[in-house]
Amino acid sequence: MEIQVYSINAFANSLDGGNPAGVVFDADYLNEDQMYRVAQKMGYSETAFVMKSEIADYKVRFFTPNDEVDLCGHATIGTFTAMSKLGMITEGKYSQETKAGKLSVRTDDCHKVMMQQPLPMFGDTLPSSEIAASLRLPPDALERDIPIQIVSTGLRDAIIPVRNLDILMKMQPDMDSIMQLSRKYGVFGYHVFTTECMHPENTAHCRNFAPLFGIPEEAATGTSNGALAGYLHRYVQRKDREMIRYAMEQGYCMNRPSEIYAELSCCSGQVHDLHVGGFAENLRISTLDI
């Protein structure tokens, strides 16, 4: 069977930047085994399959090469940007049915896409000694005044603060240890960040590791940066404004520079809506034989 698959680099701030995602439209006729095979052949961290929905404008399922996940930020941005650039949708607000719930997606006339995410849910704090060892860092490389904590906006991630950009960029994690601790604590992976940035107008510089799901390092992550935005609001840059905007850098160690935007709508200091998004570039199409 031949399948047409689009590829697009989500959250790109250059033509070669961003995180590539696969997108298959009109995927209702595919079964799970076929979706797995497409995702494995594409080899991206996630591939999105767009279907009809009875409760939303679209139903979207997300597959890594190893597993299905409830939600994927960069594949959502890639999917709706592809639809916008292909003329399948116009500027406006849409809804997608996902395993993380029914979520809204906004597009504008410049093909910028912002996706709604579930509100941040804060889980357990994690021991710094174990986490530091898995990153091959001394314990004093981590920030001491804010916690290592599990946060989820659809996928559970360990949010890990380090002291500066030099530590983050030079870090060479132990993937086997990260895999073991991800399994132990029930997280998708690690989202490691510092508030020291390459571009001073941005909020945080990030690296993301999810070897448990076959993703050693990811160039741009929507769900993890949504979780980080909630974390920053709680611990680092709490502001009593109705709208708070963050911009995250990621992918520079992979030569895939990415920029991810987060918008928090707040009331009396409490987050009541969260959108994450950005731009996607380099749309292309290929045919797979599965």
Catalytic residue positions, numbered: 46
The β-bridge relationship of strands 215-218 and 243-250 is unpaired
What is residue 290's DSSP assignment? Answer: -
The β-bridge relationship of strands 113-116 and 101-107 is antiparallel
Rounded Cα distance, 257 and 224, in Å:
16
What is residue 247's DSSP assignment? Answer: E
Rounded Cα distance, 118 and 154, in Å:
6
| Ranges assigned E (strand) in 162-269 | 189-194, 204-210, 215-218, 243-250, 258-267
Rounded Cα distance, 111 and 279, in Å:
7
Rounded Cα distance, 66 and 290, in Å:
16
Rounded Cα distance, 288 and 61, in Å:
19
The residues near 87 (Cβ < 8 Å, ≥ 6 apart) are none
Q: Is 40 exposed, middle or buried (0-12, 13-18, 19+ CB in 10 A)?
A: middle
| Ranges assigned E (strand) in 52-175 | 58-63, 68-69, 92-98, 101-107, 113-116, 121-125, 149-152, 156-161
Give CA separation, 65 vs 35, 49, 73, 137, in Å: 10, 13, 16, 29
